[in-house]
Structure 1
Amino acid sequence: MSYFLSKLVRFNRSSVVGAVGIVSVGSTLLFSDDDTRFRTFVTARLPLPSQDASLLTLAVPNDLFPPHLPSFGQHGILSLSSYRVGPGSSSDISKEASGAVHDGSKPCGCFGRDTIANAAAKVGPAVVNISIPQDFYGVTTGRSIGSGTIIDKDGTILTCAHVVVDFHGSRSSSKGKIEVTLQDGRTFEGKVVNADMHSDIAVVKINSETPLPDAKLGNSSRLRPGDWVIAMGCPLSLQNTVTAGIVSCVDRKSSDLGFSGLPREYLQTDCAINVGNSGGPLVNMDGEIVGVNIMKVLSADGLGFSVPINSVCKIIEHFKKSGRVIRPWLGLRMLDLNEMIIAQLKKKDASFPNVSKGILVPMVTPGSPGDRAGFCPGDVVIQFDGKPVESMKEI
């Protein structure tokens, strides 16, 4: 670590900590059904130019449409440009109309009238409605709704963390029940197995005496801008709702949306998603899950975002191995320096280094990798791996 990071001389650190607001970076809120020791909290501050986009787990007023928290009084009646599909027989699905994504650049030329309907029919029976009663001092005040997909016949369901986990790390509800309703009308009681708030992915389990319909996971790395996809779920508790669109971007960076912390990438589509779509699948024309729908931008049309299924699979592997997602951690709180901050620091302490860019380290967690590498509060990072750095995202 000390080889890769170059620091300037240290100065009066107490004055820096007193003069600069500390921004929390790289933290995650973890939930594990088996171990509560790893529950922590995140505070995120969005820059003003980027307040039009945010994870649905963040309460940002006015601009964001929170699909998991319907409020007719606030948003009015919503116009849903979607249609409903029923379960279809696998024998009715034509292979010629699969619309599969090919590795080459040559179009398959097989997109037909029934392509979207066939893809939806493959996944539809595995899409579920997730409903959680909400209470206030013992009185049921409403329900939190969302969607999910059965990915294993044993009742393993993939959904969003913010649908089943609240901001305190556990879902508070009357009787603590998670109700899962299948497309055929059957209802089960679900249990949160694992959830990771940083990625907004969770796994819920239901028990059934008979095998349940499940959906096949695809390969999100094969998606290209312009590929057709469909979003499925239960917006406003309207089960079996399907909307179609195209992939707008396959690697939309979290920094593009104004998110701090560890970098993340999303699939951007123009599929219509609304209240209750959170946790539902994004499906390719082969009827495979290629993403999990988690958020949209309220102040614009056709800006929806999904977690790529390849990333989801890695998260699930972490769940299976350790019950939580393990990520790199430096134990440093960092702040990007700009001209205004540098001027304020120099005014506060004349010994502040003469720099124009860099990263201030106002806090170091004792015993962390950063602490063991020799970092101290007040350090300024100017190089990483021998190259100049100007912002945290370069580290």
Structure 2
Amino acid sequence: MFRNTRRHAALLLAAAAAAGAGSLHDHGDSAASVTVSASTPLRQLLSTATTGLLFSNPHFAPWQGGFPVLNSFVSASVPPTDLSSQGSGGNSDDSRCCPGCLGRNSIAKAAAAVGPAVVNISSMHESHGWVLGKSIGSGTIIDPDGTILTCAHVVADFQSTRAVHKGKVSVSLQDGREFEGVVLNADRHSDIAVVKIKSKTPLPAAKLGSSCELRPGDWVVALGCPHSLQNTVTSGIVSCVDRKSSDLGLGGIRREYLQTDCAINQGNSGGPLVNLDGEIVGVNVMKVMAADGLSFAVPIDSVVKIVEHFKKNGRVIRPWLGVKMLDLNPVVIEQLKERSSSFPDVRNGVLVPMVTPGSPAERAGFAPGDVVVEFDGKPIQSIKEIIDIMGDKVGVPIEVHVKRANNVPVTLTVIPEEADASR
């Protein structure tokens, strides 16, 4: 019983020290006793928790500002250490065991690296000769020439089928400068837009990172500038990469989001999502109202491709095949083989469960149950590979190799059409 009593006491004291609520002092006398000093709330907690457990034992004295502990008792846990130099205000050590680890100042440094490039975007309209502005979102300068990334819904009206750009917006920087911005492009399906401002001097610009290597659990920081000169900073982790649609049939639109638990409000829309190196890995687009702390961002790798489309074509061109697709893996393949022994013998590929009537895929001869194993001369393992190969190829014939039931190989030629944005 006495051993159990000492063990319970050790656990309580170790917890107090680990929580930073107290400090350990070695008196250095012959008894080599150690005293744990605690704040009043913790002292009350320990007193309550140990009543009848420790103080009922004659080997322990009542609490009198400190708790005498036998040396053998302490040696079983953590040796006494001088913690006087490790106070919360004096520790500037930001060492990290590896680049992806979180240090004491990691989030603050990441926010500081990109903060000057985060801007507030307001709509502009005149009333009785006065130019009025309404704060509607955030953006990030990605080039010293004044190129800004933001959300399409911040700078364009998508209430109608056709997007109507708001034309000009007011852009406020963290240093107090204000500029008139021009909306260059906006894509409603990805919710990404590009705004341009002009300055006589180079502007602060954020560095673009990469989102392809982000994993669930990686730390990210969401920034915004919802109230003119005041930045907001929230941190969290990547929950998952959420591919919202693998449907290349109805409109050919495939949305891909980074799902995070960063707190994002409406004014943060268009602001950057950055990694611990202060690099942009996404653009904040929305939060889920019914789920506190659940937010989404467009991966920066997708954003870069959208911007390239803007520069090359003036809009995002999305080839349309007219098929639904499903990534295959050994587990899914085994399940499908159990359901039908005629399912083709493949190790990987992309399954076509549905073909849209009247689509390019139907005209090419695609049929439900086809497994795409080669697309435009390249072996295929995922839908993403097909998307990347198609790029903006519209009206260009593409040779596709598929396998059908009982391992029947078929070669098809499909000519993608441009997706109708109104579908």
Fold agreement, TM-score > 0.5: yes
RMSD across aligned C-alpha pairs, in angstroms? 3.6
Shift of 1:99: 6.9
Shift of 1:264: 2.2
Match of 1:170 among 159, 164, 172: 164
Mapped partners of 1:387, 1:142: distance in 2: 60
Tell me: CA distance 1:121–1:98, structure 2 relative to 1, closer, same or farther (3 Å): farther
Give the aligned residue type for 1:171: H
Match of 2:244 among 236, 251, 254: 254
Mapped partners of 1:290, 1:305: distance in 2: 12
Sequence identity percentage: 65
SS of 1:318's equivalent? helix
**Do structure 1's residue 245 and structure 2's residue 250 form an aligned pair?**
no
Instruction: State the partner residue of 1:181.
Output: 172
Shift of 1:277: 0.8
Instruction: State the partner residue of 2:259.
Output: 268
Instruction: State the partner residue of 1:323.
Output: 314
Mapped partners of 1:311, 1:163: distance in 2: 19
Select between 286-295 and 314-323 the one with higher mean Cα deviation. 314-323
Shift of 1:100: 3.2
For residues 157-193 of structure 1, what are the alpha-carbon distances to aligned partners after superposition, in whole Å with 9 as ceiling and x for unaligned? Answer: 0111111111141234xxx530000011111011111
Tell me: CA distance 1:115–1:247, structure 2 relative to 1, closer, same or farther (3 Å): same
Give the aligned residue type for 2:112: A
Match of 1:291 among 265, 282, 287: 282
Shift of 1:95: 8.6
Tell me: CA distance 1:387–1:227, structure 2 relative to 1, closer, same or farther (3 Å): same
SS of 2:99's equivalent? coil
Mapped partners of 1:289, 1:300: distance in 2: 25
SS of 1:319's equivalent? helix
**Count of residues in Structure 1 that have an aligned counterpart in Structure 2:** 251
Conserved? CA contact 1:158–1:202, under 8 Å: yes
Match of 2:211 among 210, 216, 220: 220
Give ranges in structure 2 of 5+ residues lacking alignment. Answer: 1-91, 325-351, 372-401, 406-423
Give ranges in structure 1 of 5+ residues lacking alignment. Answer: 1-92, 102-107, 335-356, 389-395
Give the aligned residue type for 1:265: E
Mapped partners of 1:169, 1:264: distance in 2: 18
Instruction: State the partner residue of 2:193.
Output: 202
Shift of 1:301: 1.1
Give the aligned residue type for 2:268: N
Mapped partners of 1:246, 1:165: distance in 2: 30
Identify which of structures 1 and 2 has the higher relative contact order when contacts are C-alpha pairs closer than 8 Å and 6+ apart.
1
SS of 1:222's equivalent? coil
Shift of 1:237: 5.0
SS of 1:272's equivalent? coil
- Please list, as runs of the form range in 1=range in 2, the aligned pairs for 1:102-141 lying within 5 A after superposition: 108=101, 111-133=102-124
Shift of 1:112: 2.2
Mapped partners of 1:275, 1:233: distance in 2: 9
Shift of 1:150: 0.3
Conserved? CA contact 1:97–1:114, under 8 Å: no
Tell me: CA distance 1:229–1:360, structure 2 relative to 1, closer, same or farther (3 Å): closer
Tell me: CA distance 1:317–1:100, structure 2 relative to 1, closer, same or farther (3 Å): farther
Conserved? CA contact 1:247–1:269, under 8 Å: yes
Give the aligned residue type for 2:318: R
Tell me: CA distance 1:97–1:156, structure 2 relative to 1, closer, same or farther (3 Å): farther
Mapped partners of 1:221, 1:292: distance in 2: 14
Conserved? CA contact 1:99–1:115, under 8 Å: no
Conserved? CA contact 2:356–2:362, under 8 Å: no
Give the aligned residue type for 2:279: E
Higher strand share: 2
SS of 1:233's equivalent? strand
Tell me: CA distance 1:211–1:135, structure 2 relative to 1, closer, same or farther (3 Å): closer
Mapped partners of 1:329, 1:152: distance in 2: 32
Tell me: CA distance 1:211–1:95, structure 2 relative to 1, closer, same or farther (3 Å): farther
- Please list, as runs of the form range in 1=range in 2, the aligned pairs for 1:1-395 lying within 5 A after superposition: 96=95, 100-101=99-100, 108=101, 111-133=102-124, 143=134, 145-167=136-158, 168-172=162-166, 176-235=167-226, 239-249=230-240, 251-255=241-245, 262-330=253-321, 359=354, 361=356, 364=358, 369=360, 373=364, 381=368, 383=370, 385-387=402-404
Give the aligned residue type for 1:253: R
Give the aligned residue type for 1:211: P
Conserved? CA contact 2:355–2:361, under 8 Å: no
Tell me: CA distance 1:329–1:98, structure 2 relative to 1, closer, same or farther (3 Å): farther
SS of 2:212's equivalent? helix
Conserved? CA contact 2:174–2:229, under 8 Å: no
Tell me: CA distance 1:361–1:269, structure 2 relative to 1, closer, same or farther (3 Å): closer
